[in-house]
């Protein structure tokens, strides 16, 4: 009988603790929407398309295809986050990120000399 009483007491304490525990704050708003799929092709000193458009607050899966013979990358600073996707020649690479701040952002290839040679594009976050 003592074991039964002890188990009942433990069960009651567990329920009481759960009922009196402070409410957990709602998790940060996470999108349940599927990732927006965008692709861009890098060649020698150009991105195509030159402008990409996505929605703020929704995940984006970016695929960069390097059709060139040199290494290239895709770099954009959105708010306080810098996203970089490096791609070897004749390869593809992907990354998923969630832009939080609407605006127009410059995309560059940060390989030395590539941005200066015109390897730039635009990311519009709405």
42 and 87 in contact (C-beta within 8 Å)? yes
89 and 46 in contact (C-beta within 8 Å)? no
pLDDT value for 9: 44
pLDDT value for 18: 44
pTM: 0.73
Q: What is the pLDDT along the chain (126 residues), one digit of tens a residue?
A: 554 444 444 444 444 444 444 444 444 445 567 889 999 999 999 999 999 999 999 999 999 999 999 999 999 999 899 999 999 999 999 999 999 999 999 999 999 999 999 999 999 999
Domains observed in the chain: 36-125 (2.60.40.420)
Round to whole Å and give the CA distance between 19 and 97. 37
Round to whole Å and give the CA distance between 52 and 66. 17
81 and 101 in contact (C-beta within 8 Å)? no
Round to whole Å and give the CA distance between 113 and 24. 50
Alpha carbon 49 to its chain's center: 20
94 and 112 in contact (C-beta within 8 Å)? no
Round to whole Å and give the CA distance between 99 and 68. 28
pLDDT value for 61: 97
pLDDT value for 31: 53
pLDDT value for 30: 56
């Amino acid at each position: 009988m003592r074991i039964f009483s002890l188990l009942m007491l433990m069960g009651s304490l567990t329920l009481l603790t759960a009922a009196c525990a402070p409410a957990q704050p709602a998790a940060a708003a996470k999108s349940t929407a599927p990732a927006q799929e965008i692709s861009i092709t890098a060649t020698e000193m150009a991105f195509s398309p030159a402008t990409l458009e996505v929605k703020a607050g929704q995940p984006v899966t970016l695929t960069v295809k390097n059709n060139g013979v040199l290494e290239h990358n895709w770099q954009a600073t959105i708010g306080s986050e810098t996203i970089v996707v490096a791609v070897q020649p004749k390869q593809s690479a992907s990354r998923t990120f969630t832009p939080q701040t609407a605006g127009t952002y410059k995309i560059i290839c940060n390989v030395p000399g590539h941005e200066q040679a015109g390897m730039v594009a635009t990311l519009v976050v709405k």
